[in-house]
Every structure is written in structure tokens, then in C-alpha cells.
Structure 1
């Protein structure tokens, strides 16, 4: 019986981290103690009964002279020793159970204290985590605010930079020779088609620059968007140029000679029909002679999608005089 109770106590100790398990084991130990008390009461009753039997036997000894007094005394002492031994065992067992119960209670209190400490640590960690989340949210909000400020600022800064470059070009004392020279000096003008001033034949001339097509830098020597400008002109008008560069114009034969006289230039003819279809013809060698040569045309190296209508029969031809 003692070993069984000890086993129950040890099981309860081993399961100290399981509070429900501890309560279950304590219940089992308590039940065993009650059973032990019941058995102890039964043993006490048996001892009382034995004492009565001893008295009966003593009466019988007095009546029966055949049983000696020494034998009765020995029997009585033997029974008393047995009872006393059982009492000591029961007492020791009760003390042991009490000690185990006390240890279990102490362990239960220790576990409860440890659980409280862990709960406090968890609460502290949750508070720290919530604080980190709040900080992350504030950082994200600040980043969004900075982005909302920086994006328009960067766009404005880029526009200002483009405008400054354009102003530098406009205010430059040394004007560019053609649109390619302008784009080379100010790359930020790429894609910004429009009117620019170039230095041609010792004078400033307003021309249209295509800063988008095939890398940009094309100086438009002729533009025809509609039929509002009359192109059947005389020699003098074709020599100097005519029209509005923003819409319909001819740059002038003298200007074409100046633009092409130092090295071979490329010529690109960009066509667009009324229904929006596009085609082009490009020539890798193009230059025009001076007025003495009657603006003799040299053109070759065709490529493109619009067909070659210039190399033959116009290559080598001179400008014809008109009225």
C-alpha cells in the first residue's frame, strides 16, 4: 500500500507542469488515504476484538490450569507488539503522505508563480510588439507623405532643369548650326519637337526641329501640312526661303547649301496620307551645291518604306529657273 501511494505521489510530481494532472493525482492520493484510514479503523477494531479474545483466553487460563501463565503472557506481548508495529507503520505512512501532499502544494504554488511570471512576460512582449507595429505604421505614413511630396517636386525640378537648359541654349551667344548640334549640346531636348533658332549663312534662322524621329536632331528643310501655302515660287523666293516654319515652309536653297556643304548629311522624307498611313524614304548621302552650281543635288543610299522617287531622275539635277 505504501509503495502504491508513493507511486501516485511521484506521478503527481512528474506531472507538475500539468495542473489538471496534478489535481487528478491529488484526488487519487486522497482516495488512497481514505482507503488507508478505513483499513486502519478495521485493524483497530480487530485489535479490540483480539483484546477481547485475550481476555476470554485469560479467563479460560484461570479456569484451565493446564495453560501456564508464561504462555499467556508471551501471546499477549506478541499481539501487542504486532499492533504497535502496525500503528507505527500507519503513522509513518500518514506522515509520508502529508509530506508528499505538502510538496505537491508547494510545487503547485511554484508552478502558479511561474505561470504568472510567464503571463507578465507575454503581456510585456505583446506591448513591445504593438509598439513596434505602431512605429512601423508611422514610418510607412511618413514614407508615403515624403513620396507624395517628392514626386511632384522631382517632376517640377525636371521641368525647371529642361527650361533652364532651353534658356541657356536660347541665350547662348554662339548659336548652333543645325538641330542635331542643338540636341548634341542639350540632350534633354530629346522628344521636344518645335521651333528653334540656328546660325545659317552668317545669320539667325528660325527652323522646325524634329527631336523625336529616329533619335531626333532632324532639321526640317521643308514642311507641308496642308494646301494653305503656295509652293510654285520664283528663283529668288526659293533662294531665300518662304512660309511659316511652324506649319508650311521652305527653308531656302542657300540655307540647304550651308547646312550640307561641310560634310555629307542624311535626308529623311517623312510622308503621311490623309487617312493617317505613314511611310518614309531615307538617304545616307545628301548635299546641295551653291547658287553658281544652280544648287546641284547629290543624293544616294536609299532605304525606307515609301519607295525611292528621288535618286532617279533627280540625283545630279540642278534647280530650274522660274518666273
Structure 2
């Protein structure tokens, strides 16, 4: 930016110098005209003889003055041409450097964007660490199911107190598969309707003893302050079981639209059918935040989900079970990598757990 400002100042100086040259040339033309007029007015030999010497001296002085003006003008023009050439080279060099800097910045920005979710989690965790310590200093209250697992608690329903949530809420803890998992979604018989609105998906619905959705607000409190893993279990109508596991998972706040903000390293045998939705905001039938301009994903495909335009998975879709006709494609509870969008799965369970290197 400093180089551009310097070049701009130099260009303005050149413009002023060119104006001076134009003024000098104009004065030169005026004086030539006056000399011509003077010669034309000396009509008789007597007039020439009477003031010949004086007129010659005047003409010589004017010619000398004109020569100096012309010399200075030519010098300025040469200098200006050199300056303009130099300025063009400088501008070209600045343009090349600016392009290189912008390219480097874009590469850095791409890397930063991929790490934004993780950085925000770290900052939030640091901000709430002291608050969390104060809330749990007098009573030993579990923050999550992992705390309960470390105390030897079995699978079951418990009340937990995540960071920045002093009132706490009830959850279903699963202590198998390494233990410490908090179940955020559970479906297995179709008894609970999942084609509901924003308010229900925000606060949660169903029964922790049966089918349920824990609630976006609760999921945010679980995953918004520290890095969590995500574990998804799937079962088809032939009792074939598949799973998908992600090393990092986090959603944003309601103000942000509860986006799927962080989704890290996939492993499992169900194939990765969630990565397409990374970064997408949550949508319901009465709050459409998807990227499909021609329609509404939650209305067309049924159920609330992190729709993009529209989906490669929808575990909150309609409970249809088994193969579905073309007219119901993408509308069932499906996972593209396991049976595809023309098959509605029998069971689905989503669980989160704080990232901990001491457990597997």
C-alpha cells in the first residue's frame, strides 16, 4: 500500500511538471508571434536605421530567453518520459507483488477457515473454564457422560451440567463402545414423529426411554465449549449394522443457525455421508435455512437436518423402513453410503463424547 501511495504522488508530480512545460511552450509561441509582428511593423529603411542596434539587442535577448525556455521544456519532457517509464515498471511490479500476496493470503485464509471451528471451541473453553470451576466447586456435578463413565456409572439416564449451563438437563448415557457417550438422537420403531418445527428441534422432543431428539440447544451446550467426537450407529431391515465415527464434532449457537460447524476425521464402515453437510445451518419445516433456491429441503425430504441443497443423509427423515418407491426417494431415514436414498433404515443412534486421548 505504501508503494502505491508513493507512485500516486509521483504521478501527480509528473502531471504538474507537464503543465509547466505546456505553459512554457505557450509563452514561447506568444513571443515568436510578437517578434513576427515587430518585424512586420518596421516598414521603412529609415525606421530600421533609426533603431537597428537596439532592436537587434532586444531580439537577441528574446531569442536567448526562448532558447532557455525551450531547453528547459525539452529537459522536463525527457525527464517526464523517463519518470513515466519508471512509474509503469513500478506499477507493474506492485501489481505482480500484490497478486502474489493475495494468493498467499487466500491459501492462508483457506487453512484458517478449516480450523475456525476448532479455534472457536478452544476460545470458548478458556472463557468458561473459570465459570465451570465455580459452578462445580461446592458440589461434584458431572459435566457430561464421560465424567459419569470415569466414576464407574452404568448406561442410563442422568442429569449433567455442561459448561455455562448451571441448571443442567437430563440425558441418556451409553457406556459401551469405550463409554462416556451422550445420546443426542435415537430412533428404532417410528413411535416418535420427527417432522416437527424449529421450537421442538431447539428444545428437544420425545422420551429418553424411547425415541427422542435431545435438542439443538442442549447439543450446543455439549459440543460448543470443547471438542467432541460423534458416533453414529445404523441398522437396516436385515439387521445389518454399520457405523460412522468422526474425530471432531461441534455445532454453533442459535444466533448462527445451529450450523454443523466442525466435522473432523471420519472412520467406520458406513461411508462418510455427513461431510457434504459440514458448515450448513439447521433447517426445519417452519425455518428454512438451506441452500436450495427452488424449494424447501425439510418440507420435501421430511424432518429437521443440516440441509445444504439438499442432502446425502437425513437421519431425521420419515420412518418408512426398507426399500421405498421413487416418489419417496430421499424422504426416509437414510444414509447415502449405506443402502442409499431409496432405502429407509430401521434404526439410527447419534452420540457425542468429549475428545479424550485416554479412551478409544
Verify same fold: TM over 0.5: no
- RCO comparison, higher one (Cα < 8 Å, 6+): 2
TM-score w.r.t. structure 2 length?
A: 0.39
TM-score w.r.t. structure 1 length?
A: 0.43
Structure having the higher Rg: 1
